[in-house]
Amino acid sequence: MSNPRASWLLPTLLGLLIVAAVVALGVGAYALSPGRIVAVTLTRLGLASADGDIARDAAVLGAIRLPRVLAAMLVGAGLGAAGSAMQGLLRTPLVEPGLIGVSSGAAVAAAAVALAAIPLAAALGELGSHLFTLVLTGAAGVGVTALLLAVSSRRGEPSVLTMLLVGIAINSFAAAAIAVVVFADPNAQQVQATFWLLGSLGGASWLDLAVLAPVVLGAGILLYFKGTAIDSAVLGATVARSAGVDMRALRLHVAGGAAIATAAATSVAGVVAFLGLLAPMALRPLVGAAHRRLIVGSALLGALVMVTADLLARVLFVPTELPVGVLVASVGAPAFLVALLREQRAGRL
């Protein structure tokens, strides 16, 4: 049964996300007050007349800030929802896409495609090359997830410890592979390797959003509708089967949806580890075992954390931009240690 306090949880998270988004839209090297943001919006809708600075404000807001903030929301929502669903499926708070190597596997595929970005854009067009990248990263994410489940399963039940150890190996291999891919390009710079390994939303565009939004929303809807079945799975495979849950199909759908959402997020933002662990870990005491509410709440909290982290990444060390994954990991790594110690004390490791 969910905690009664959870009734105000989702509206509160949504309100905080809106506030964070408005702040992120206005803060930067070129500041925009909330009034100017409203003025640009009204002008674009034809509800107000333009003043002298409106074109410049509209360019900053429409071409740079807004796609970046929306991309942060989608990336955070996808990783948060994926993490909460995977934790429920595997009955542990210790797994999330970045830790077990799904994000890294997708990043390797995206970095490899980046080597051929110009020929792909010429052959397929910009939208076609983005879709090709998404398909390849999605296939890599699903492939890594399938490998994890196959290697870690014993007597039909995945071993979390084995999965984490395999994830360490995958992350290490991915870091080496991304370095090779980046330096194989004679025009490559170290910032490209930093982008894929530590995450950044500096290059987010409207075209990225056009590809990212339907994939993250579709995967999120799939995971949401599997929430009730995940509730049964948390009680064990035997109980779930007695409730009519096909565990094999559930693993396929949840792991596949989580992998696709993660791969889509990684194709735009690079590797952002621990976000899928932080959101459900913070919300589970409020939500309890109600995974539909937990998945939605984790998506909202993940979006809020990502928007806030990206804002801080932009302003903490101006004019240098900090990789957003560094900020998330600085909070997520200690949180993972806390969760690990709790599981150890409870005798589940």
Q: Which CA distances in Å does 228 have to 126, 218, 231, 244?
A: 39, 18, 5, 11
- Whether the pTM exceeds 0.75: the reply is yes
pLDDT confidence band for 1 (50 / 70 / 90): very low
Rounded distance between C-alpha atoms, residue 274 and residue 32, angstroms: 31
pLDDT, tens digit, 9 for 90 and up, residues 65-118? 999 999 999 999 999 999 999 999 988 888 899 889 999 999 888 888 877 777
Q: Which of 96-100, 241-245, 309-313 has the largest mean confidence? A: 309-313
At residue 77, what is the residue type?
A: A
Would you say residue 254 has pLDDT above 70?
yes
Q: List the domains of the chain with CATH numbers.
A: 8-345 (1.10.3470.10)
Would you say residue 34 has pLDDT above 80?
no
Residue 249 corresponds to which tokens in the numbers above? 């199909």
Look at residues 221, 86, 224 and name the one whose alpha carbon lies nearest to residue 148. Answer: 86
Q: Which of 125-134, 188-197, 215-224 has the largest mean confidence? A: 215-224
Rounded distance between C-alpha atoms, residue 109 and residue 134, angstroms: 9
Query: What is the rounded average pLDDT for all residues in the chain?
Result: 86
pLDDT confidence band for 45 (50 / 70 / 90): low
Cβ neighbours, 10 Å, residue 41? 15
